[in-house]
Amino acid sequence: MWHTLTLYRRLMSVQMRSQMQYRTAFVLETLSTAVIVAVEFGSVALVLNRFGGIQGWTLAEVAFLYGMSETAFGFMDMIFAGFDPPVFGQHVRRGTFDQLLLRPINITTQVMGSEFTLRRLGKIALGLAIFAFAVQANQIIWTPLKLAYLPVVMFSLFLFFGGLFIIGATITFWTVDSIEVMNILTYGSSFTIDCPMTIYPDWIRRFFTFVVPVIFLSYYPSLYFLDRPELAEAPSFAPFLSPVVGVGLLLLALRFWHFGIRRYQSTGT
Amino acid sequence: MSIITVRNLRKEFKVSKHHRGMMGTLRNLTTREFTLVKAVDNIDFTIARGELVGYLGPNGAGKSTTIKMLTGLLTPTGGEVMVNGRVPHQQRQLYVQRIGAVFGQRTTLWWDLPVIESLELLRHIYRIPPDRYRQNLHEFTSLLEMESFLNTPVRSLSLGQRMRADICAALLHDPDLLFLDEPTIGLDVVAKERIREFVRHINSARGVTILLTTHDMADVERLCSRVMIIDHGRLLYDGRLQTLQDRFGGKRELVVDFAEPYPEVTVPGATLTHYHDLRATYEFERQTISASELIGLLSTQYRIRDLSVREPDIEGTIRRIYQEGLLTGDA
């Protein structure tokens, strides 16, 4: 276990050093990941400003949800980059994944260590900036419990998105044709989570409550942090299920991943 | 003692039939039609510790499927495979610790890192004791003449340098068994020769068992006393290279330079294929007459200035085996 961890650290530092070799490219890419977030959030902000909010949510409140999830996604995208479905699909197709299977270390660690996209720092920085703005503008009444729970929610989002990447990567064992579908799965779900669930029709909300329970991931926690009135309609435990959903999806994803590897070994794409 | 034991090994792939065009795509989605491809069809062999065996076959014959099963990348459909005391696909991590593999077409090294740092990383991955690592590194880098590019990033290496670095990387952890897949592909003659020499050295001096797949018959000729030939998933031949050559090799040739012109130079047991300007070329079969008998016959009748015997090339022999299926049902 210790060996695996130190190895992961070594593999990661290799990735970082590789990226630093191309300094200009690195700076530009980091900026561009920030710009993408800025443009995306900017357009949401413009619309919200024009209509003075959405279903009773102010721009600052949406920013809270948005900043939290973008930051978590940014961290995940940096650390789980080896599982980014299009990237991983390439490894499978080119046979470089086989090279990893020939080394005597845990395969999940190796895939995690095969990429580390430092340029996501741009996205993370902007996510944090949006989040900081939201915290400032919403005048949140902080309690010790809220302060303690905030990182838990962030981490749960991080694990949840990581799970999505792993699921997407595993699907490439079967097909590499439908990369776009996997992008909908990963980037699509992150954008869905960025917005307050109240804006969606009932059936979508039910889907996200009972089928894929992402509503507990950041929406209910946000209601709790922001002391929103909708919280009264939900059971009192609703804001605290975030880690259950985050950890739960990651565990499911890992099971699927191991199933995928076994299947890969029997079919050899 | 055998290091590889393979019994009734089979691997079948389901290949889905793809229909083309719009309607075809719809059909692909609705009906799943498969054809069963037998990539490896009931093969048996054992390889003893310390052997250097050539594994030959045309593209798509089942070579890489076999190698993938031996290295644990693929689970067999049926049969047994036991390598180095383990079932490769079942105990992956423990198993790969004791083997090395070089796939000539891809590198296992980190693209942007200097060679030495990749090797350092492998030291940690395989938990090679520092002393052992230093000794091996020293020996391999000098034998493979790698000192000049140890600090060069892998992406800037020439193909020959990269191949040497990859071979070195595959051996640092003292594997018992080395899989070499096309280690000389795309290299120039000098680079090929250097790699062959090194391969021979680690086999004889260190006793590393080597399974070599290659399309380069010179590799086989220089390195392997035993060859296995696979085609259409079946093992066609398993035995000494020389025996293969004796039984299935084409005709040998004798080229003679006479000291003076003779109008008539035919000789029983050999066919004269060419005669011009004092030089005659004869073809003869190993079974009919030996080279020395033939030379003896000629020298009693003519004054000979010089002569040479040309052996049939292995490449031709193997090509004939692939094309004419010479060995089918006979192995």
CB A162 within 8 A of CB A106: no
What pLDDT digit, counting tens, does each position of B214-270 carry? 888 889 988 998 999 998 899 988 999 888 877 777 788 899 999 988 888 888 889
Which chain B residue's Cα is nearest to A11? B121
ipTM confidence score:
0.84
Q: B3 Cβ partners below 8 Å, 6+ apart?
A: B47, B48, B49, B51, B83, B84, B176, B177, B209
Q: If you average pLDDT over residues B8-19, what whole number do you get?
A: 83
Q: If you average pLDDT over residues B142-169, what whole number do you get?
A: 95
| CA–CA min distance A7, chain B (Å) | 7
Rg, chain A, Cα only? 19
Which chain B residues are within 8 Å of A268, Cβ to Cβ?
Answer: 13, 65, 68, 73-74
DSSP for chain A, please give it: -HHHHHHHHHHHHHHHHHHHTSHHHHHHHHHHHHHHHHHHHHHHHHHHHHHT-BTTB-HHHHHHHHHHHHHHHHHHHHHSGGG-HHHHHHHHHHTHHHHHHTSSS-HHHHHHHT---GGGHHHHHHHHHHHHHHHHHHT----HHHHHHHHHHHHHHHHHHHHHHHHHHHHTTT-STTHHHHHIIIIIHHHHHHS-GGGS-HHHHHIIIIIS-GGGTTHHHHHHHHT-GGGGGS-TTGGGGHHHHHHHHHHHHHHHHHHHHHHHHHH--
What type of residue sits at position A84?
D
Q: Which of A174, A15, A6 is nearest to A80 (CA)?
A: A15
Q: Which of B239, B223, B266, B210 is nearest to B321 (CA)?
A: B239
pLDDT at site B287? 80
Query: Any idea what DSSP says for residue B83?
Result: E
Which chain A residue's Cα is nearest to B112? A18
Nearest to B101 among A3, A6, A102 (CB): A102
Q: Does A101 touch chain B (CB under 8 A)?
A: yes
* Distance of alpha carbon A99 from alpha carbon A87, whole angstroms: 15
pLDDT at site A104? 94
Instruction: Say yes or no to pLDDT of B22 above 70.
Output: no
pLDDT at site B331? 40
Q: Does B302 touch chain A (CB under 8 A)?
A: no
Q: Does A266 touch chain B (CB under 8 A)?
A: yes
CB B306 within 8 A of CB B314: no
What pLDDT digit, counting tens, does each position of B73-120 carry? 999 999 999 999 999 999 899 999 999 999 888 899 999 899 999 999
pLDDT at site B29? 63
**Lowest model confidence (mean pLDDT) among A228-232, B23-27, B150-154, B167-171:** B23-27
Q: B302 Cβ partners below 8 Å, 6+ apart?
A: B256, B258, B259, B262, B265
The two tokens of residue A196 are 């307050």
**Lowest model confidence (mean pLDDT) among A149-153, A240-244, B54-58:** B54-58
Nearest to A102 among B75, B94, B96 (CB): B96
Q: Which of B255, B251, B254, B308 is nearest to B278 (CA)?
A: B255
pLDDT at site A160? 95
Q: If you average pLDDT over residues B177-205, what whole number do you get?
A: 93
- Which of B16, B67, B75, B156 is the best substitution to test chain A (most A C-beta atoms within 10 A)? B75
Q: Does B143 touch chain A (CB under 8 A)?
A: no
Which chain B residues are within 8 Å of A18, Cβ to Cβ?
Answer: 110-113
The two tokens of residue B156 are 């800037």
Looking at every residue in chain B, the average pLDDT score rounds to 89
Contact B74 A96 (CB under 8 A): no
| CA–CA min distance A20, chain B (Å) | 10
Specify the CATH number of the domain B2-246: 3.40.50.300
* Distance of alpha carbon B179 from alpha carbon B101, whole angstroms: 5
What pLDDT digit, counting tens, does each position of A53-105 carry? 788 888 999 999 999 999 999 999 999 999 999 899 988 888 889 999 999 99
pLDDT at site B193? 92
What are the domain boundaries of chain B? Answer: 2-246, 251-311
Instruction: Say yes or no to pLDDT of B329 above 50.
Output: no
Bigger pLDDT: A49 vs B46: B46
pLDDT at site B330? 44
Instruction: Say yes or no to pLDDT of A198 above 90.
Output: no
What pLDDT band is residue A159 in, cutting at 50, 70 and 90? Answer: very high
Instruction: Say yes or no to pLDDT of A230 above 90.
Output: no
Instruction: Say yes or no to pLDDT of B316 above 80.
Output: no
Measure the CA angle with vertex A50, ends A49 and A52; round to 5°.
60
**Lowest model confidence (mean pLDDT) among A47-61, A109-123, B163-177, B293-307:** A47-61
